[in-house]
A and B are shown apart, each in its own frame.
Chain A
Amino acid sequence: MMDIYLPLKRPSWLVDNKRMRTTSDFQWLLSTFVLLYLMNHVNSQRKETPYDLKCTTNNLQKWDCSWKAPSGASRGTLYEFCIDDRSHSCYHLARTNIEIPALSPGDHEITISLQDAGSSTSKFILNEKNISLIPDTPEILNLSADFSTSTLHVKWNDKGSVFPRHSNVIWEIKILWKKSMELVKLVTHNTTLNGKDTVHHWSWVSDLPLECAIHYVGIRCYVDNLLFSGHKEWSDWSPLKNISWTPDSQPKVFPQDKVILVGSNITFCCVSQEKVLSAQIGSTYCPLIHLDGENVAIKVHNISVSENSGTNVVFMIEDNVCGTVVFAGYPPDTPKKLNCETHDLKEIICSWDPGRSTGLVGPRNTSYKLFEGFSGKYVRFKKVDVSANESYHQLLLQMVPNQEIYNFTLYARNPLGRSESTILVNITEKVYPYTPTSLKVKDINSTAVILSWHLPGSFGKINLLCQIEINKINSVQESRNVTIKGVENSSYRIAVGKLNPYTVYTFRICCSTETFWKWSKWSNKKQHLTTEAIPSNGPDTWREWSSDGKNLIIYWKPLPISEANGKILSYNVSCSSDEETQSLSEILDPQHKAEIQLNKNDYIISVVAKNSVGASPPSKIASMEIPHDDVKTEQAVGMGKGILLTWHHNPNMTCDYVIKWCNSSRSEPCLMDWRKVPSNSTEALIESDQFRPGVRYKFFLYGCRNQGYQLLRSIIGYIKELAPTVAPNFTVEDTSADSILVKWEDIPVEELRGFLRGYLFYFEKGERDTSKMRGLESGRSDIKVKNITDISQKTLRIADLQGKTSYHLVLQAYTDGGLGPEKSMFVVTKENSVGLIIAILIPVAVAVIVGVVTSILCYRKREWIKETFYPDIPNPENCKALQFQKSVCEGSGALKTLEMNPCTPNNVEVLETRSTFPKIEDTEIISPVAECPEDSSDAEPENHVVVSYCPPIIEEEIPNPGGDEAGGTSQVIYIDVQSMYQPQARPEEEQEKDPVGGAGYKPQMHLPINSTVEDIAAEGDLDKTAGYRPQANVNTWHLVSPDSPRSTDSNSEIVSFGSPCSINSRQFLIPPKDEDSPQSSGGGWSFTNFFQNKPND
């Protein structure tokens, strides 16, 4: 509200509040008090004069001023209202308000006085700045609703005519909903006032369908006049207008069947008289928003694309259900790859890719309209069906006569939007002809045909480019492009030349236009056989004289298809010389040989091939053969499938070369085949399917000179050499005591299968029964090999053999293809008697001579020998100085030191000799069997060996105290100690035994050792438990031979390994490994195995 300063507010009264505020708090409080007092005083004063003058305006032209009457004034009091301006106008009136024309800017003094009492006058200063501009309350002329689109339309009048000046107006519209009048929307709407009454429209689309709740609309305005310096205020709100929907008895859901954009938000509501229990969109339940009454709404955010039949929104009501279907999709995509072409220049086909699926089908599917800009023609496309596989759409449009340029625009439209695509085409450049049909071929001659076909379309104004594909069997495919003038009647024909006669061709055709756009599809294939022509060449001819030389045999080869030009029916052969002519006619086709009896004259033979059209040019050959120099037969070996023949260039040979060949083993005339080679070549690779490896062929090279042929070279050869199939047949021609003469025969050519390169001869000593010759190639040293590379050699003498010895002889032939089979023979050399005699006589003679010489020498030197070897020895008994006590000497039997008694020797010679007796006699071990035969043979260098051992006699009766050992264990005892101990003895027992017996071997023989009887007895129990009884006490051995391998220092295995002479043990001691390595414990393993296996046996 705008305050108007009272006229009584004298300047002295005015207190500058600001200044007051700047003073101290106390001063401020004091001032406030004073002010309040003064105000009260004024109030009491003004009650007596008009006060509170207020002025407003609603149109800027008139000001409404009103004031309050003094307290004493009655109802009918007259007032004088004077404006102190130039005219000084005064108004007399009986009310307290007045409408005055708008005053000019600036202060104006207003005097209001009561006419009854002249004293009570009030003066006011009025300025435009103190005036409030409050527009009139607007009024809604019309409020309507479009329920289908949930749109509210508001219509009102701006009453602009009352405002003198151009002003901006701000309208504020509020929308309230539900009976509780909740504010939904408050919007401002700007307009301008143009001095006329204008009706304004404003529309608003509600999120909530309008059917669901009552909607109220109110409006107010604010005039924003820039020239008005006073206070501007909003008008009052207009009276509210509302929109509501009259519900049916049936519940209903809104909006119905709406199409919306995917991802948008939408509110559904259900108008129902009954309570709604739940709501769901698709299969998703949504929270309910309660509206007036039982009406509810749900909000769906970011809706996803619908299925074909739409997305169902269902509200469940007690005993009822209601719902709607919403279709969420996309606006049509811009049609892509729009392309227009024609097949026949009659109809245009435009096709396009619709792009992204809209998700809308049926009546909501995208509809297309193809519009042609120049002619204004259009066609529509509406696809109702949903078929996923049809990704391209197309439309047909009839061509406009004489129009070549077309400007097509394709409009796409669906409920959510529209799009378009444009293309400008020259249709004559976009011809994609139909597939040519009815392809026909007609002969012109044997090398040309006419192709005709049907190609629908009115191509009268353009040229067609067609491609003819010509296929010949076993030949490269050929393509020919032809340009033909287009026609209106669709029939085309063209000549195709340069064909071969009597050949099967397959034709097919495709067409395009000269301004190429696309080839049509290929037409169906058409096969055609061209007609025959006369054979282009005569057959390749050769001749041979028969073996008796009377007949000439003429050979010719069938013509190749390319030269025959048809089916060869027959041949004519004629031989003409200066004198006569012989001819053979009508030799039917499969025969390619003719024989004519001729005198040895020089004939020219001509052969002509005939087909249904005619005869070929004759091919001629002279019967005469030019004599040749001696031609050596050479050898050649082929490579792979053929054989390469080379020769030097011969300038005399003016025509061509002929190589003929045959199997060497065939009889004359020898001819398998021949081949002509141009005269300038010097080599030819002869290949034939008839060639077989290992077969010898003869090749003859003829040179042609003056139509006569001369043999230049003769070659034998193989395509590939193989090893001979048979061995050479050989015999022994002669045998002596130290040599054998062997002779062999040639191998037949058929069985040789290659050029013979030599023979291999093996020999060795051997009887027929032995089969030592098996490994001939293994390089055995006793086999002697002779490689005979001179193939003309047919005999071989083997010398330096032993007499009366059987020899094994083997002979095999070889070629470059390999070694042939071998043939063997046994031969015994003759006895050499002279040698034997000499061998006996010479040693005998030598022995006799040596004996005689020795005897003579001995006789001559007998005195020296006697003194040297047998001197006279004095008898010691005769020497008294050497008196030995006999008992002592006898008792020991060993050497005794000479006692140095005073004895005067008289030519005494003392000889000291080694005792040959073993020391055994020093020991007190006396074996019942002093020597055992085995030991004597295996006598060890040390004499003390005697100690050990004696063969077991019979020890089987030794009880088996363990009882738990296998039956064979008792035998083991005698066998091999090493073997036995390890597997048989229990480990614990062995441990116990080791310190006692030192393990090792214990002979089975019980030795009566007196000195250790007690020890043995003490050990008896132990032995019994071990199941083994040692035959001797180790201590005794120790005593006997402290440095023997059986000493206690040695480990048990070494000790036990002593070679027993037990017969039973032999078999286990035989293995050389054990002999070589006494430490090996392998015997134990094998033993265990043996025993373990025994039950199984």
Chain B
Amino acid sequence: MDLRAGDSWGMLACLCTVLWHLPAVPALNRTGDPGPGPSIQKTYDLTRYLEHQLRSLAGTYLNYLGPPFNEPDFNPPRLGADTLPRATVNLEVWRSLNDKLRLTQNYEAYSHLLCYLRGLNRQAATAELRHSLAHFCTSLQGLLGSIAGVMATLGYPLPQPLPGTEPTWTPGPAHSDFLQKMDDFWLLKELQTWLWRSAKDFNRLKKKMQPPAAAVTLHLEAHGF
């Protein structure tokens, strides 16, 4: 747009008009309740942050488990870790999920994972590892809170844990050290997959919930700069 000196009066008038009309713009008029948008964005950001944090934690923890767990091509079958919530899901199934179901699954998965992670923390032998795990647990607790917040904003009820199905950490002689290590390995792996999935979920939700903010721009365009 080529602006000449003579246009300055026109611009000023236009600016005044825009300011006059600003209270009428619905997107800007929501002063009290900003809607689920920001909280979804926050949850998304937190997911990405946790992904980053997990990368560092997993490196440390897999080194602690020792070879071959810390070898990059080590890909064992999922043994014994049946109680862990699975993040992998068929694409068709994933698409067919509605927002409520999606959020519920996320919430449930992280509730379980957090519980297992705390168990992991209890049995870690070194203090620094425990510190890292505790830090991550706190972050994950935050994510869980964020998801609950989003669900509350959207008016979805939080899933109630069935009595007696509360996941518990059961260290015992039945579980050999090796199987325990496999569980730990899978816990980290599932956690990573869940964080990927959640990022995707929240990104989708974010796009869906985005308010029609384009109205302002269109309004300005209409004044014929």
Binding site for B on A (CB under 8 A): 253, 256-257, 280, 282-283, 307-314, 319-325, 361-362, 384-387
Partner among A253, A257, A309 whose Cβ is within 8 Å of the Cβ of B66:
A309
> How long is the Cα–Cα vector from A324 to B180 in the complex, in angstroms?
10
Per-position binary interface string of chain B over residues 175-199, scored 1 when its CB falls under 8 Å from any chain A CB and 0 otherwise? 0111001100000000000000000
A895 to chain B, nearest CB (A): 125
Given contacts A280-B68, A321-B76, A386-B126, 6 further A-B contacts (CB under 8 A): A256-B178, A307-B66, A322-B79, A324-B178, A385-B127, A386-B125
Instruction: Give the residues in chain B near A384, CB-CB below 8 Å.
Output: 125
**Contact B66–A321 (Cβ < 8 Å):** no
Instruction: Give the residues in chain A near B69, CB-CB below 8 Å.
Output: 312
**Contact A256–B123 (Cβ < 8 Å):** no
Instruction: Give the residues in chain B near A362, CB-CB below 8 Å.
Output: 123, 125
Instruction: Write 27 A-B pairs (CB below 8 A) sorted by A numbering.
Output: A253-B178, A280-B68, A282-B67, A283-B67, A283-B71, A307-B64, A307-B66, A308-B126, A309-B64, A309-B66, A311-B66, A312-B69, A312-B181, A314-B68, A314-B178, A319-B77, A320-B77, A322-B178, A324-B177, A325-B177, A325-B181, A361-B126, A362-B125, A385-B126, A386-B125, A386-B126, A386-B127
Instruction: Give the residues in chain B near A319, CB-CB below 8 Å.
Output: 77
Partner among A256, A312, A361 whose Cβ is within 8 Å of the Cβ of B67:
A312
> How long is the Cα–Cα vector from A323 to B67 in the complex, in angstroms?
12
Is B215's beta carbon under 8 Å from chain A? no
Per-position binary interface string of chain B over residues 50-80, scored 1 when its CB falls under 8 Å from any chain A CB and 0 otherwise? 0000000000000011111101000011010
Instruction: Give the residues in chain B near A325, CB-CB below 8 Å.
Output: 176-178, 181
Instruction: Give the residues in chain A near B65, CB-CB below 8 Å.
Output: 309, 312
Instruction: Give the residues in chain B near A322, CB-CB below 8 Å.
Output: 79, 178
**Contact A321–B126 (Cβ < 8 Å):** no
Instruction: Give the residues in chain B near A310, CB-CB below 8 Å.
Output: 66, 177
**Contact A256–B176 (Cβ < 8 Å):** yes
> How long is the Cα–Cα vector from A320 to B71 in the complex, in angstroms?
17
Instruction: Give the residues in chain B near A321, CB-CB below 8 Å.
Output: 76-77, 79, 182
Interface centre among A282, A309, A310, A361 (most CB of B within 10 A): A309
**Contact A312–B127 (Cβ < 8 Å):** no
Instruction: Give the residues in chain A near B127, CB-CB below 8 Å.
Output: 385-387
**Contact B125–A309 (Cβ < 8 Å):** yes
**Contact B125–A385 (Cβ < 8 Å):** yes
Indicate whether A257 sits within 8 Å of B177 (C-beta atoms), given known contacts A312-B67, A312-B68: yes
Within 8 A of A (CB), among B146-202: 176-178, 181-182
> How long is the Cα–Cα vector from A324 to B65 in the complex, in angstroms?
12
Instruction: Give the residues in chain B near A283, CB-CB below 8 Å.
Output: 67-68, 71
> How long is the Cα–Cα vector from A310 to B66 in the complex, in angstroms?
8
> How long is the Cα–Cα vector from A386 to B124 in the complex, in angstroms?
10
In the complex, the chain A residue whose C-beta lies closest to that of B129 is: A308
Partner among B66, B77, B79 whose Cβ is within 8 Å of the Cβ of A282:
B66
**Contact B181–A309 (Cβ < 8 Å):** yes
Indicate whether A361 sits within 8 Å of B125 (C-beta atoms), given known contacts A307-B66, A319-B77: yes
B155 to chain A, nearest CB (A): 46
B163 to chain A, nearest CB (A): 31
> How long is the Cα–Cα vector from A314 to B123 in the complex, in angstroms?
22
Interface centre among A283, A307, A323, A386 (most CB of B within 10 A): A323
Interface centre among B76, B123, B178, B182 (most CB of A within 10 A): B178
Give 7 nearest A-B pairs by CB, closest first. Answer: A283-B67, A325-B177, A321-B76, A323-B178, A361-B125, A257-B177, A308-B125
B176 to chain A, nearest CB (A): 5
> How long is the Cα–Cα vector from A321 to B69 in the complex, in angstroms?
12
B184 to chain A, nearest CB (A): 9
> How long is the Cα–Cα vector from A308 to B176 in the complex, in angstroms?
16
> How long is the Cα–Cα vector from A192 to B147 in the complex, in angstroms?
79
Instruction: Give the residues in chain B near A308, CB-CB below 8 Å.
Output: 64, 125-126
Instruction: Give the residues in chain B near A313, CB-CB below 8 Å.
Output: 178
Instruction: Give the residues in chain A near B178, CB-CB below 8 Å.
Output: 253, 256-257, 312-314, 322-325
Within 8 A of A (CB), among B82-135: 123, 125-127
In the complex, the chain A residue whose C-beta lies closest to that of B69 is: A312
> How long is the Cα–Cα vector from A253 to B76 in the complex, in angstroms?
15
Instruction: Give the residues in chain A near B71, CB-CB below 8 Å.
Output: 283
In the complex, the chain B residue whose C-beta lies closest to that of A313 is: B178
Instruction: Give the residues in chain A near B181, CB-CB below 8 Å.
Output: 309, 312, 325
Instruction: Give the residues in chain B near A307, CB-CB below 8 Å.
Output: 64, 66
> How long is the Cα–Cα vector from A320 to B179 in the complex, in angstroms?
13
In the complex, the chain B residue whose C-beta lies closest to that of A326 is: B177
In the complex, the chain A residue whose C-beta lies closest to that of B123 is: A362
> How long is the Cα–Cα vector from A385 to B129 in the complex, in angstroms?
11
> How long is the Cα–Cα vector from A604 to B158 in the complex, in angstroms?
107
In the complex, the chain B residue whose C-beta lies closest to that of A311 is: B66
Instruction: Give the residues in chain A near B182, CB-CB below 8 Å.
Output: 321, 323
A812 to chain B, nearest CB (A): 84
Interface centre among B64, B71, B127, B177 (most CB of A within 10 A): B177
> How long is the Cα–Cα vector from A320 to B65 in the complex, in angstroms?
19
In the complex, the chain B residue whose C-beta lies closest to that of A251 is: B79
> How long is the Cα–Cα vector from A322 to B182 in the complex, in angstroms?
10
Instruction: Give the residues in chain A near B64, CB-CB below 8 Å.
Output: 307-309
B53 to chain A, nearest CB (A): 21
Instruction: Give the residues in chain A near B177, CB-CB below 8 Å.
Output: 256-257, 309-310, 324-325
> How long is the Cα–Cα vector from A235 to B67 in the complex, in angstroms?
53
Instruction: Give the residues in chain B near A253, CB-CB below 8 Å.
Output: 178
> How long is the Cα–Cα vector from A387 to B64 in the complex, in angstroms?
15
A408 to chain B, nearest CB (A): 29
> How long is the Cα–Cα vector from A387 to B125 in the complex, in angstroms?
9
In the complex, the chain A residue whose C-beta lies closest to that of B80 is: A250
Interface centre among A256, A280, A283, A314 (most CB of B within 10 A): A314
B41 to chain A, nearest CB (A): 39
**Contact A312–B123 (Cβ < 8 Å):** no
> How long is the Cα–Cα vector from A362 to B123 in the complex, in angstroms?
8
A936 to chain B, nearest CB (A): 101
B72 to chain A, nearest CB (A): 12
Instruction: Give the residues in chain A near B125, CB-CB below 8 Å.
Output: 308-309, 361-362, 384-386
> How long is the Cα–Cα vector from A387 to B66 in the complex, in angstroms?
19
> How long is the Cα–Cα vector from A313 to B68 in the complex, in angstroms?
9
> How long is the Cα–Cα vector from A283 to B70 in the complex, in angstroms?
10
> How long is the Cα–Cα vector from A314 to B179 in the complex, in angstroms?
11
In the complex, the chain A residue whose C-beta lies closest to that of B71 is: A283
Instruction: Give the residues in chain B near A387, CB-CB below 8 Å.
Output: 126-127
In the complex, the chain A residue whose C-beta lies closest to that of B171 is: A363
Instruction: Give the residues in chain A near B67, CB-CB below 8 Å.
Output: 280, 282-283, 312
Instruction: Give the residues in chain A near B76, CB-CB below 8 Å.
Output: 321
In the complex, the chain B residue whose C-beta lies closest to that of A257 is: B177
In the complex, the chain A residue whose C-beta lies closest to that of B178 is: A323
**Contact A257–B176 (Cβ < 8 Å):** yes
Instruction: Give the residues in chain A near B123, CB-CB below 8 Å.
Output: 362
> How long is the Cα–Cα vector from A319 to B182 in the complex, in angstroms?
15
> How long is the Cα–Cα vector from A387 to B181 in the complex, in angstroms?
22
> How long is the Cα–Cα vector from A387 to B69 in the complex, in angstroms?
24
Instruction: Give the residues in chain B near A257, CB-CB below 8 Å.
Output: 176-178
Interface centre among B79, B125, B127 (most CB of A within 10 A): B125
> How long is the Cα–Cα vector from A253 to B181 in the complex, in angstroms?
14
In the complex, the chain B residue whose C-beta lies closest to that of A256 is: B176
Instruction: Give the residues in chain A near B176, CB-CB below 8 Å.
Output: 256-257, 324-325
Interface centre among A311, A325, A387 (most CB of B within 10 A): A325
B121 to chain A, nearest CB (A): 13
> How long is the Cα–Cα vector from A310 to B123 in the complex, in angstroms?
13
A132 to chain B, nearest CB (A): 55
In the complex, the chain A residue whose C-beta lies closest to that of B179 is: A323
> How long is the Cα–Cα vector from A314 to B77 in the complex, in angstroms?
13
> How long is the Cα–Cα vector from A282 to B125 in the complex, in angstroms?
19
> How long is the Cα–Cα vector from A323 to B79 in the complex, in angstroms?
11
> How long is the Cα–Cα vector from A309 to B66 in the complex, in angstroms?
7
B180 to chain A, nearest CB (A): 8
B101 to chain A, nearest CB (A): 32
Instruction: Give the residues in chain A near B77, CB-CB below 8 Å.
Output: 319-321
Instruction: Give the residues in chain A near B66, CB-CB below 8 Å.
Output: 282, 307, 309-312
